[in-house]
Structure 1
């Protein structure tokens, strides 16, 4: 089955999972279930963007060394982030008031001559300007970033509604791939639940059918070997939609459904596992999370990439100052795969790309 057809079929099996409430700090990477907008504008009062002396600009209009303006008392000192007094609308710089004129508690004091004027609002944030009422901080279907979490916390939004799919990962021991896939799933807002993959068809079918997950990912056992039973187990547990994807590496991947949930079968060799996850697993996770379209960076290749017509080819890349360096695809040794921090999926209609071609890459 072509990769594009497989992705579409997998997406048809997936339904966005139920939305849950979570804390702002824990929401990073998760997909927002609805738009998140600011309720009450912030700050409620004018606040200082820097340290300085709070003044009313109307009281010091035209102040200069040649025409100082006399104030009845020393202005109030305000630290960055603190609200200004109600009658103040700007900040004088710290050096505008000489140290000898500052009373012990930085308020009150003797009359004072000011020799500099400032514009209204200078050094301050107007009420409601930091977080205007009605401002949309996160769109539905958007993955919450660390910066958005910062803005949400500043807006006083302690809880938000997200979709966080739970994926059961079934892998046989020794298992070196589940930790990596689990980290990738967590980074994109999902929850990975590792479990042992039984070595017999019936117990594996039972493990696929076990409740509690939104999708099941079986790692290994997808080939034609005598102990490769995952396709048979899925067929027994539910329905095997495809076994054999036009993907290199990862040709023996497959998918189907059981108990109303999508089931993804990944090959057991690291390069094939990761290629099949990038081509099929990431779109599946996005569909379960209700994620909208995401942009991918475009970078130039430092060397040419050759590909086979008719297959989607996964090429692992290493980002450099001048672009992305191809490391290899099918049968790439682990010591080279370990350097990968991005990947490229070459469409089946291409024979590859010459050096210097700008290509869309998937960050790992």
Structure 2
């Protein structure tokens, strides 16, 4: 039986509210640093000060700056004994507060003389100068980025506490490029991604791949339309899913969302533009809820040109930043070139007719 869209499309706000209803954040897990990258922090123990004591920041001679006043190549300061040589990272010897370069001290056998003055702290990394004591790696609800991983590694931590929802992607043959795009976006969003391919486009083959027993979110890609070879929605319904098929969203009209058992499920169209629009409008808010992520930051800039929109359907505009303004690349229909060149996206509510030129709008970055 051929799939059909309902007589009236489901408003985006209604579909999103149903999708998010009853969804709680996943439990935190402890992950090695390399696996925790891009995941959402679940709250970290505070880091100790680093370095824990004054250390040499460079290789050289450890000395006390107050003892070197007046030293120069014209008036060398003789030393009663050879000073301590330190390598970068060594603890500073007691009574020493500066490190002179190798040529700052002349050595002849057991005799040594200082040829330059020193300044307290010269060549020294003070205790807590890299990481102040009681510093959080990442505040709970924010992504674990490269800087956070650096802090954790320097402080000697091997694992971080994060929330990483498990995503199962079921790809319907014919939508491989779209699947690769969505899987890449999902990994960047900090998800644990498991990708699977349905054996064929028929209802039975798709149904066999719809295992939601070990995931927090199920995505299907392709087969959401009303063509003779489209059967994803029918396969999900046969498995007992409760779905809203057909959204008042452009692009993304043939997407569907709902539940398979207790697991949220989103049916993404095979078209890259429609799949990406549904990902932005439906999947990202769901991921943020599952990850307990803090609200995403919007960037407010005036529009370079007017954006018109039809009342009754939510539309997403792709934007590029240009001379401190947002320039519209595409609205409703997205060429692949517009997707590749977009810096941000703007959701135009179904009740809105668009925005005037010069009007400030809040857009979300495509790549944070």
Q: Secondary structure in 2 aligned to 1:177?
A: helix
What is the Cα deviation at residue 299 of structure 1?
Answer: 4.2
Q: Secondary structure in 2 aligned to 1:54?
A: strand
Q: Which moved more, 1:268-277 or 1:40-49?
A: 40-49
Paired with 2:244 and 2:123, the residues of 1 have a C-alpha distance of: 63
Paired with 1:80 and 1:113, the residues of 2 have a C-alpha distance of: 20
- Which residue is equivalent to 1:361? 364
Matched, 1:29 2:38: yes
Q: Which moved more, 1:274-283 or 1:225-234?
A: 225-234
- Which residue is equivalent to 2:138? 138
Q: Which moved more, 1:144-153 or 1:191-200?
A: 191-200
Paired with 1:118 and 1:20, the residues of 2 have a C-alpha distance of: 47
What is the Cα deviation at residue 286 of structure 1?
Answer: 1.9
What is the Cα deviation at residue 28 of structure 1?
Answer: 1.0
Q: Is the 8 A contact 1:70 1:114 kept in 2?
A: no
**TM-score, scaled to structure 2:** 0.84
Distance 1:227 1:160, change over 3 A: same
Q: Is the 8 A contact 1:67 1:115 kept in 2?
A: no
Q: Secondary structure in 2 aligned to 1:242?
A: strand
Alignment of 1:181-196 (within 5 A): 181-196=182-197
Distance 1:176 1:117, change over 3 A: closer
Distance 1:113 1:338, change over 3 A: closer
What is the Cα deviation at residue 74 of structure 1?
Answer: 4.5
- Which residue is equivalent to 1:155? 155
Alignment of 1:323-338 (within 5 A): 323-338=325-340
Matched, 1:221 2:223: yes
Matched, 1:240 2:242: yes
- Which residue is equivalent to 2:62? 54
Cα-to-partner distance string for 1:284-334 (whole Å, 9 max, x where unaligned): 122222222222334444433222233321122344565443221333333
Aligned counterpart for 2:94 among listed residues 78, 86, 92: 86
Paired with 1:263 and 1:327, the residues of 2 have a C-alpha distance of: 30
- Which residue is equivalent to 2:107? 102
Q: Is the 8 A contact 1:71 1:114 kept in 2?
A: no
- Which residue is equivalent to 2:210? 208
Q: Is the 8 A contact 1:68 1:116 kept in 2?
A: no
Distance 1:217 1:113, change over 3 A: closer
- Which residue is equivalent to 2:164? 164
Paired with 2:70 and 2:15, the residues of 1 have a C-alpha distance of: 73
Paired with 1:223 and 1:166, the residues of 2 have a C-alpha distance of: 26
Matched, 1:293 2:302: no
What is the Cα deviation at residue 5 of structure 1?
Answer: 3.7
Distance 1:73 1:292, change over 3 A: same
Paired with 1:205 and 1:256, the residues of 2 have a C-alpha distance of: 16
Paired with 2:89 and 2:360, the residues of 1 have a C-alpha distance of: 44
Structure 2: stretches of 5+ with no match in the other structure: 1-9
Distance 1:72 1:235, change over 3 A: same
Q: Which moved more, 1:233-242 or 1:177-186?
A: 233-242
Structure 1: stretches of 5+ with no match in the other structure: none
Cα-to-partner distance string for 1:51-70 (whole Å, 9 max, x where unaligned): 4432123433x446699755
Paired with 1:260 and 1:103, the residues of 2 have a C-alpha distance of: 80
Paired with 2:88 and 2:308, the residues of 1 have a C-alpha distance of: 57
**TM-score, scaled to structure 1:** 0.85
Distance 1:218 1:115, change over 3 A: closer
Paired with 1:77 and 1:23, the residues of 2 have a C-alpha distance of: 37
Paired with 2:51 and 2:296, the residues of 1 have a C-alpha distance of: 32
